[in-house]
Structure formats: C-alpha cells, structure tokens
Amino acid sequence: MKKILQYIKIIKLGDTFVIVTFMGLIFWSVSQSWNMPSGQYLKIENNQEDSKVFSLNQTVNKQVIGFLGSSEISIAEGKVRFVKSPCTKKYCIHHGWINKINQTIVCLPNQITISIVGDSESYDTVNY
C-alpha cells in the first residue's frame, strides 16, 4: 500500500489536468459511438442477386431467399431484425433489432446480409 502511494505521489497538478482531459475524451468517444445516427434505408444482400435497398419507414415482413431457403426479415418503423431463418444456430435472430447506420446482421449459413445505410454510402472494407 505504501508503495502504491509512492507511485501516485509523482502525479502533479498538470498531470491531473491531463488525466481528466483524457477521461473526458473517453466519455466523449463512448457517447459518440452510442449516439450513432439512425439510418433511413435497409440494404439486403444475398447469394443470388444484386443488393436491394428498402426504406425503413414502413412496417412489413419480407421474405429473402438465401442459400438454405427463405429467411424472414421484419422492418418496423426504423428498425429491422431477422424473424425466421433456416440456419441451425440462429445467431442472426438472436442478434435482435438494429437501427443505427453501419449496423449489420450477417447470416453466414443462409448467405444473407442486412445492413442499415444512411443517405450517403461509404466504401466497403479493403482487405489484405
């Protein structure tokens, strides 16, 4: 305990200022990543055709044909989730609702990806 106190002793007034600023930055970045803007469009990709974009401002269930069979996706006024899927592990369903830009649910067995996009679209990932 005495040793720990010795280490803390080297922290001076300016250091406390730096540490507090650093913690402020952490809180700012956490709040930024939690308050991502909600998206307006839903992009659905499967193994058979080009990706399709739908508006999120509707309440509708959609059937999407994948590799194993038909998955059901539910859109409910700004958010979206998987409802039914022919895959075995059902990770896509357990993921729950998504509503923020860049959030994505991937069903690997059925080869379906749904993601929320905003007004402008960014690049895809570059891989090495």
Residues lying near another protein in the complex (CB under 8 A) are found at 7, 10-15, 18-19, 22-23, 25-26, 29-30, 32-33, 36, 101-102, 122-126, 128
Exposed, middle or buried by CB within 10 Å (0-12, 13-18, 19+), for 25?
A: exposed
> Which is nearer to another protein, 77 or 121 (by Cβ)?
121
- Least distance from another protein to the Cβ atom of residue 93, Å: 22
- How open is the CA angle 76-117-78, to the nearest 5 degrees? 20
Q: How far is CA 82 from the centre of its chain?
A: 14
Residue with tokens 């730096």, as numbered in its chain: 18
> Which is nearer to another protein, 13 or 59 (by Cβ)?
13
- Least distance from another protein to the Cβ atom of residue 86, Å: 28
